[in-house]
Amino acid sequence: MMTMMMGEKWAQLGSVIGSIMFAWAMFNQYFPQQLRDFILKYGQKFVGFLSPNIHITFHEFSGEYFKRSEAYAAIQTYLSDKSSMKAKNLKAEVVKDSSQSVILSMAENEEVTDEFEGVKLLWASMKHAPRTQSFSWYPEASDGKRYYKLTFHKSKREFVTRTYIHHVLQEGKEITVRNRQRKLYTNNPSQNWHGYQARKWSHVAFEHPSTFDTLAMESKKKEEIKNDLTKFSQGKEYYKKIGKAWKRGYLLYGPPGTGKSSMIAAMADFLKYDIYDLELTTVKDNTELRKLLIETTSKSIIVIEDIDCSIDLTGQRKKKKEKVEEEEPKDPVSKMAKDEEEESNSTKVTLSGLLNFIDGIWSATGGERLIIFTTNHVEKLDPALIRRGRMDKHIELSYCSFQAFKVLAKNYLDVDSHQLFETIGHLLEETNITPADVAENLMPKSLTEDADACLKTLIEALETAKEEARKKAEEDMRLKVEKEEKEKQQVAQEDVKVDESLAKEVKENCVEVVKG
Ligand SMILES: Nc1ncnc2c1ncn2[C@@H]1O[C@H](COP(=O)(O)OP(=O)(O)OP(=O)(O)O)[C@@H](O)[C@H]1O
Ligand SMILES: [Mg+2]
C-alpha cells in the first residue's frame, strides 16, 4: 500500500516537471525574443515586489577598465574563511605576492550565510555567462562577469548599507594586509632609473626571523616600544585631529651588535609593514631623495642605517672635496675622468634635504610610515636632525643586561633558569658585552654541546672580556699618568726658559745701568 502511494507521488511529480519543461519549450518556440525578454523582466520585477528581500551586487570589474574592483577583492577575502568552512564547491586561486599561497573562495552559484550583530545575511557568488564568444579587451568579457550578490531582509536596509558593508570591506582589507608577503625594498642607483620598466626601488620577499620575542632587552622597555607602535598604527584619526602627518621617527643608537637592525626587523614583523632600506650614498641629490620618498607606499618603514656614515652632516664632505681639488691631476683627460668618478661616488644630499625628506610637505603623502635612523655615534649627529618631532622616539640599544641574557638563553638553549645564571649575572654587571657576542657564545659549537657547556663558554668569554677591560683600564691609566708627567715636564722646561730669558734681560739692564 505504502509503496503504491510512493509510486503515485513520483508519477505526479514527474508529470509536473514534464509539463513545466513542455511549457518552457513552447514559450521559447512560439513567443518572439522581445516578448520573452519583456515577460521575464516584468515577471522578475513582480516576484521582487512580493519578496521581502533586498539584493546588492558587487561586480568584479566595474568602472575602471582592466582594474579589479577593490570591493570585490575585499569581499572575496572576507568570505574566504566562511566559504572554506561552509561552501561545498570551492575555487582555489594562487595569489601573487601572498605568503598564503592559495586562497579559497566559493565557486560560482554557491551561497554562504553570514551573521553580524545578530543580523543574518546571505552571500552568493554569481556569474553572467558571456552572450557571444567575441574577442574583447576587457578581462571579464571572455570568462563571463563575476559578481557577489548580498541578500538581506528589507527591514535591515539601513544597518547593511551604513554598517555591515563598511565592516566587510574593512575586515577584508585587514585580512589582506595580515596575509600579504612583506617586502624589503632597496633603492636603485639613479643611473638605472631610465628605460623600459625602470624602477626606483627593487624588492625581495622580507623574511627576517627577528621578532620582539627573540629580541633581547628589558621586558619593560620592549612593552613600551610595542605600545608606542600599536598606538601609532591605530592613530589615523588622532593624527588627523591634531593636524599632524601620520608618521613617526625613531632613532636607534648604540654600539655595534646591540640589536638595532634586529629591532627594525622586529618592528616590521609586529606591524606587518614593508621595509624601505634607503642607501643614501647612492642618492645623487635632494630631488632624487624626494622622488624616492614619493614612490614609497604606506604601511612601511623607511630605514637609513648608520646615518652618520651615509651623509656628511658637519661639512666634512666639502672639506674632502677641497682636498681632492688640491691633488687634481694636470692632464685634462684624467682630470675629467677623476671628476666624473668623484661626481658619481659622492652624494649631494644635504642636511636640509634630509630634513625636508623627514618632515617636508611631501613626506605627508600616503601616511602611516615610520622613519628610522640608526647610528653608533649619536653625539656626531646634528641636533636639528634628531630633535623631538623629527625623531620622535630615541631608543638606546646597549650592552647585554641580565634580563636580556635571559631572553637569549631561552631562545638559544631553551633554558629558563640554571645554577650558572647567578655567576653570569654578576659578570654581566662588571663587563660590557654586546648581545651579539653573548648570542655567539650561546650557540652550540657541536651537536654534543649542551646548555651547560654553552653557559660555561659564555662565562669564560665574560671573564676574558673582564680581564681585557681591566688591562685596558690599567693601560689607559698608565698612558694618562705618562701624559700628565710629560705635560708637567714641558711646563717646567718652559718655566726654566722663561727664568733664563728673564735673568738675561736683568743682566743686560744692569750692564747698561753700570755703563750709564
Ligand atoms: N638585542 C638583541 N637581541 C637578540 N639578538 C641580538 C640582539 N643584538 C644583537 N643580536 C644578535 O646579533 C646579531 C647582530 O645584531 P644587529 O645586526 O641587530 O646589531 P646592530 O646593532 O644593528 O649592529 P651594527 O651597529 O653593527 O649595525 C643579530 O643577528 C642577532 O643575532
Ligand atoms: Mg645594524
Which pLDDT score, from 0 to 100, does residue 29 have? 72
Q: In Å, how far are 97, 100, 211, 264 from 179, measured between CA atoms?
A: 10, 6, 17, 20
Helix 451-515 and helix 435-442, axial crossing angle in degrees, nearest 10:
140
Rounded-to-5 percentages of helix, strand, coil across the chain: 55, 15, 30
Give the DSSP H or E segment for 476.
helix 451-515
pLDDT at 131: 54
User: Which pLDDT belongs to residue 182?
Assistant: 83
User: How do residues 35-58 score in pLDDT, each as one tens digit?
Assistant: 777 777 777 676 666 678 899 999
Q: How far is the CA of 434 from the centre of ligand 1 (A)?
A: 8
Ligand 1 in contact with 217 (CB < 6 A)? yes
How many CA atoms, within 13 angstroms, populate the side-chain half-sphere of residue 207?
5
Q: CA triplet 57, 58, 63: central angle to 5 degrees?
A: 120
CA–CA dist 336, 333 (Å, integer): 5
Please report the pLDDT score of residue 3 as a whole number: 54
- Encode burial over 256-275: b for 16+ CB neighbours within 10 A, e otherwise: ebbbbbbbbbbbbbbbebbb
Q: If you measure from the C-alpha of residue 185 to the centroid of ligand 2, how many angstroms do you get, rounded to a whole number?
A: 16
Instruction: In whole angstroms, give the CA distance from residue 502 to residue 506.
Output: 6
CA of 260 to the centre of ligand 2 (A): 5
| Nearest alpha-carbon partner for 247 in 118, 429, 370, 415 | 370
The CATH number assigned to the domain with range 184-325+343-396 reads 3.40.50.300
User: How is residue 361 annotated by DSSP?
Assistant: G
- Nearest residue (by CA) to ligand 1, atom 7, is 259
Residue closest by Cα to atom 27 of ligand 1: 256
Q: Which three three-digit cell numbers place residue 357?
A: 625628506
Q: 427 C-alpha vs ligand 1 centroid, how far in Å?
A: 21
pLDDT for position 7: 64
Q: Which of 409, 460, 466 is nearest to 435 (CA)?
A: 409
C-alpha span between 33 and 191 (Å, rounded): 64
Q: Is the CB of 209 under 6 A from ligand 1?
A: no
Ligand (nearest to CA of 258): 1
**SS3 assignment, position 184:** strand
Ligand 2 centroid from CA 373, angstroms: 10
pTM: 0.68
pLDDT for residue 161: 92
Give me the residues of the chain with pLDDT under 70, please.
Answer: 1-7, 13-14, 44, 46-50, 62-67, 94-102, 129-144, 195-198, 312-347, 362, 366, 510-516
Ligand in closest contact with the CA of 254? 1
Q: Which residues have C-beta under 5 Å from ligand 2, the single-atom ion?
A: 260-261
Q: Which atom of ligand 1 is nearest to the CA of 376?
A: 25
Task: For residue 100, give the amino acid letter.
Answer: Q
User: Closest by alpha carbon to 302, among 248, 378, 266?
Assistant: 248
Q: In what order do the strands lie in the sheet with 274-277?
A: 201-205, 183-187, 274-277, 300-304, 369-375, 247-253, 393-396
**Quick one: pLDDT at residue 339?**
57
| pLDDT tens digit sequence for 403-458 | 999 999 999 999 999 999 999 999 999 999 999 999 999 998 887 888 899 999 99
pLDDT of residue 129: 67
Position 320 scores a pLDDT of: 42
Give the start-to-end residue ranges of the domains of the chain: 28-130+140-179, 184-325+343-396, 402-488
296 in helix, strand or coil?
Answer: coil
In 235-278, alpha helices (H): 236-242, 260-271
256 in contact with ligand 1, CB cutoff 6 A: yes
